[in-house]
Amino acid sequence: GELREPEGLEEPDLIDEEEPSDPEKEKLREILGDKYKELTSEDTERKRDRVAMASMSAEDSDYKKKKDWLMSEATAKDIGRAFDLGPIQRELKEEEIPDLPQDANQTALELERIRAEEREILGQISDYNITAEMQREVVTLAGSHKFKHRDGRGARARFKEPFSIACGNDGALFVVETQAHCIRRIGSDGVVDTYIGNPGNIGIGEGRPRDSLLAFPYGVAVDEDDRVFVADTLNQRIIRAITNEGQVHVELYAGEVDVTNRTDGFAMEAIFSYPQGLELDAASNVYVADTSHGMLRKISTDGEVTTLVGDGFGQPRDGAMSHARLGMPRDLCLDHNSGRLYFTDYAGAEWSRVRMLDENGVVHTVAGSTRGYVDGLGSVAKFGFPYGISVDFDGYVYVADAANHVIRRISPDFEVITFAGNGEGGICDGLVNHARFYGPFGVCVDEDNTVYVADTLNNRVRAVRSISRLRFIDKELRRIRDIRREEEAEKETLRYAAKMSAVKDRGERAERRFEEEINLDMDEQDEDESGEAREAEEGDSDEEFPDVGDTSEEPLTPPHLMSR
């Protein structure tokens, strides 16, 4: 279907419509004078931009709205010549040049420096062998980092770890929100709403969507008549939602709350044990990954439940349906062209595989062995935790490898590659080789080969879609230039830190010298004072007093009596 944009465009205002007379505006025009013209001119420009935005095609509107082209006009022409894309017209916006000098000559030099850098990066990109696998990007459709349940459009919506995902027939997506015990629907307009369940309330029930309580649902599938099937895992049952004249009605489809037996039979009497994955064929027969029983089950349209593969005993093994055994099947998908039923089978570090029930009724290991992360052919490849699985019209199988934070792809000849993600847990949109996921568990692919991902631990729903050759070149140019700027900023930070460290060292050395000089002056002053004190003591001991003679014969007369 049509590619969904995370943010819808607002309805444009008509800029050529005559504005009605307003006494307050007339008074404001008289007061402000020329300033009023400037303000209204800016408003007209904004309106014109919105009209231009609305006239763009749905495929390119979000891209152009963000104004994320970073090539200069000269570089764009270079790209057109280098890659045979024809003339490309594009101006370098003033806000894209940081800290433009006021001097015209310096401005010209700065422009030339940026264009030279772009031409240098373009030279690197021209050496790439640009393949169709590289010409893809990852974008976020809905959700944010917050672990919360909230309906809304695009990034304003919130999820509590979206787990599984399925494509509808009208461009909608159905998302299993296990932790909130409900099913969400993302419309083709990007609006997210709650489809089945009462968020945060666990229970069991049928009828109206809000009254149909769920208990940790894991799987979802949609048939050609838009009937939605849900694996209500903790309630050990399969439910079905039917839409009739715009009204949704939820009913029990198969299963009974009992995990002690492995019973086939009529749908309402059959017993499942923590069913997780669901798939449908063209006739609306339902295939169930009965996880804890270690079985693949089938619910026919007349309500008969049968076991296809597995008996729940012994070690997993390949072979005929009656002989093969499974570990813990998680999710499954049907290739309608070949009749192959693919499923993920994960039972711990020693059993991490993607397997297949072929059209002849034989179970094969398609790829994987023990837990790990290796691309390659068949059993050479390794998966961390393969869970969600989907297949496109050409027979390529997509696997959500949750433990390795990537989406893997298996070709019809069983060659495994990393389709999207760089293997590092995190959140980052962009080209597939550099994008990041965090524990993605769900994946589905639509008729246009757009791959949708339930990025579970990021609380987001994301899409992997093809892009043009020019857009790939532009995004790669921007990515390389951003890396260079980050590296330069880091070097500048290190240089500044080194400079400040040197300044600090010089200050500390100067402070130490100052303290040493002060201490030296004080020591010298102490020595001088000590020397003077010693000299004074020596002088007192050697002083000679004058000889006053014998005072016994003639006593001295006091001065005040001498007049007498």
Candidate from 317-331, 424-438, 490-504, 513-527 with smallest mean pLDDT: 513-527
Q: Which two tokens stand for residue 284?
A: 């609306």
380 band by pLDDT with thresholds 50, 70 and 90: very high
pLDDT in tens, 64-83: 433 333 344 444 555 454 44
Q: Single out the residue of 490, 487, 484 nearest to residue 117, CA to CA.
A: 484
Helix 104-126, helix 73-82: angle, nearest 10: 20
Average pLDDT for the chain: 78
pLDDT at 97 over 60: no
pLDDT at residue 86, as a whole number = 44
Q: Single out the residue of 384, 379, 380, 499 nearest to residue 441, CA to CA.
A: 384
CB burial of 248-266 (b: ≥16 within 10 Å; e: otherwise) equals: bebebbbbbeeeeebeeee
352 band by pLDDT with thresholds 50, 70 and 90: very high
Asked whether 54 and 14 are in contact (CB, 8 A), the reply is no
pLDDT at 536 over 60: yes
% pLDDT > 70, the chain: 71
Strand order in the sheet with 228-232: 219-222, 228-232, 237-244, 247-255
Q: Which of 124-128, 473-477, 535-539 has the highest mean pLDDT?
A: 473-477
1 band by pLDDT with thresholds 50, 70 and 90: very low
Between residues 353 and 257, the one the model is more confident about: 353
Asked whether 166 and 174 are in contact (CB, 8 A), the reply is yes
Half-sphere exposure of 4 (CA within 13 A, CB side): 28
CA-CA distance, 112 to 72, in Å (whole number)? 10
Q: Which two tokens stand for residue 333?
A: 């998908």
pLDDT at residue 15, as a whole number = 33
Distances (CA, A) of 425 to 401, 439, 444: 12, 7, 20
Distances (CA, A) of 489 to 117, 258, 377, 434: 16, 62, 42, 21
Mean pLDDT calculated for residue range 300-322: 89
Distances (CA, A) of 296 to 252, 278, 342, 345, 370: 20, 10, 11, 11, 22
pLDDT at residue 40, as a whole number = 53
Q: What is the CATH number of domain 136-467?
A: 2.120.10.30
Mean pLDDT calculated for residue range 519-536: 70
CA-CA distance, 385 to 405, in Å (whole number)? 9
Q: Which two tokens stand for residue 151?
A: 């309906």
CA-CA distance, 407 to 354, in Å (whole number)? 13
pLDDT in tens, 411-462: 999 999 999 999 999 999 989 888 999 999 999 999 989 999 999 999 999 9
Q: Where are the beta strands (DSSP E) in 245-381?
A: 247-255, 265-266, 275-280, 286-290, 295-299, 304-309, 319-320, 329-334, 341-346, 352-357, 362-369, 376-377
Between residues 256 and 365, the one the model is more confident about: 365
pLDDT at residue 211, as a whole number = 85
CA-CA distance, 287 to 266, in Å (whole number)? 15
Q: Single out the residue of 272, 340, 333, 274 nearest to residue 306, CA to CA.
A: 272
Mean pLDDT calculated for residue range 542-556: 50
CA-CA distance, 479 to 463, in Å (whole number)? 20
Amino acid identity for residue 380 in this structure: V
CA-CA distance, 326 to 345, in Å (whole number)? 7
DSSP secondary structure code for residue 559 in this structure: G
Asked whether 221 and 285 are in contact (CB, 8 A), the reply is no
Distances (CA, A) of 90 to 60, 68, 107, 475, 548: 16, 12, 19, 15, 119
Asked whether 346 and 385 are in contact (CB, 8 A), the reply is yes
Torsion angle of the four alpha carbons 453, 142, 476, 60, in this order, in degrees rounded to the nearest 10? 110
Residue with the two structure tokens 């850098």: 117
CA-CA distance, 75 to 122, in Å (whole number)? 8
> What pTM value is reported for the model?
0.69
pLDDT at residue 63, as a whole number = 38
pLDDT in tens, 248-279: 899 999 887 655 556 677 878 888 999 999 99
DSSP string across 99-126: T--SSHHHHHHHHHHHHHHHHHHHHHHH
CA-CA distance, 355 to 378, in Å (whole number)? 10
CA-CA distance, 227 to 192, in Å (whole number)? 18
